[in-house]
Amino acid sequence: MCGRTSLSLNKEQVRCACAYKSRKENVYVKPEWKPEHNNGKDFIPSYNIAPTDITPVLIADNGSNTSNSLVRVLKPMMWGIIPPWHKGDYKGHNVSTNNCRIENIKTSNLYSPILHNGGRCIIIAEGFYEWQTTVKSKTKQPYYIYMPQGDKNETQDTEDKFSEINGWNGVKLIHMAGIYNIWKCEDKVIYSYSIITMESNDTMNWLHHRMPAVLDNDEQINVQKRLGLMLNT
């Protein structure tokens, strides 16, 4: 499971870190940031992001694009899907939606319709926190999980870490598969998401029996992006 994440980058740094290579122009392109909706709340960089906080999420968009190729868009969303049938205070639904088990997603009364309508997204983070459950103890030990970083340059400014030719040379983000929904009630429109979880692999099973569904490469990100187009059109 996943109950806390970290993303300390500002908006422009997030755009740079999420840059992708345009097949048409053969250069790295920064996703557009679309901050509307979410009841007036916006993303605030933090090392301790909790459910109901707002974080940037990658979705697909063809918008006014005439090339028939999909582009990536960063959309701030609330962590924890608001059930479509819920009315009233958006925090008052009393349903745990921080995580969505991949084994049940196609049969869930909540998640299955969202999945069918194409509501797939990619949650980005510098890392996430997991409390060890595989060792019995009175106090659970938290661990911080992040991507291998390689030879990034910590001394460069944001502008120097990104170029259209080479892309981003800063911190490497984790890309987690998720689903999202657009909740509407009276004059409120809120985008919200759940992180898809799966059984832990050999890298993580010493810590916890569940883990986020992490997308390891750009092709997996593109597949998740293409499948998520329908809800956004």
Catalytic residue among 16, 100, 126, 130: 130
Residue range 210-222, pLDDT digits in tens: 899 998 766 666 6
16 labelled catalytic: no
What average pLDDT does the segment 10-20 reach? 95
Q: Are 147 and 175 in contact (CB under 8 A)?
A: no
Q: Indicate if the pLDDT at residue 108 is higher than 70.
A: yes
What average pLDDT does the segment 26-38 reach? 89
130 labelled catalytic: yes
Catalytic residue among 2, 18, 100, 121: 2
